[in-house]
Amino acid sequence: DGGITQSPKYLFRKEGQNVTLSCEQNLNHDAMYWYRQDPGQGLRLIYYSQIVNDFQKGDIAEGYSVSREKKESFPLTVTSAQKNPTAFYLCASSIVEAHNEQFFGPGTRLTVL
């Protein structure tokens, strides 16, 4: 089945630790995205990548880092520099053409204790 997978579903970390969230897609999409979702707010873009080995900062990139070594994978690292990391993180992918609707993974809920 084609789709986007995120792991793990739930993640707990102690304050001050870096943590990496996984995102994999087998849709052959060139573009991938990371969003953060907080209660009562819309999705906010953290980072995006339109091609392997290239990525750009979104609206709230501070305290996060990404890599895009493979087309299928776009891991997100939440660093200790992120002041308020507890949130629901969503990964998405799309084609890079005019009608590039984004398709989302199931999300990872990160709780920093």
Q: Does 2 bind other proteins (CB under 8 A)?
A: no
64, 49 Cβ separation under 8 angstroms: no
CA distance 96 to 113: 38
**Of the residues 42, 53, 97, 113, which one makes contact with other proteins according to CB under 8 A:** 42
Q: Which two structure tokens, joined as six digits, stand for 82? A: 């992120």
**Of the residues 59, 69, 70, 111, which one makes contact with other proteins according to CB under 8 A:** 59
**Of the residues 58, 75, 79, 86, which one makes contact with other proteins according to CB under 8 A:** 58
45, 52 Cβ separation under 8 angstroms: no
Q: Does 103 bind other proteins (CB under 8 A)?
A: yes
- Collect all residues with Cβ–Cβ distance below 8 Å to 27 and sequence separation of at least 6: 2, 3, 4, 93, 103
| Cβ nearer to other proteins, comparing 71 with 109 | 109
The residues that touch other proteins, with contacts defined as CB under 8 A, are: 4, 6, 33, 35, 40-45, 48, 50, 58-59, 88, 90, 92, 99, 101-107, 109
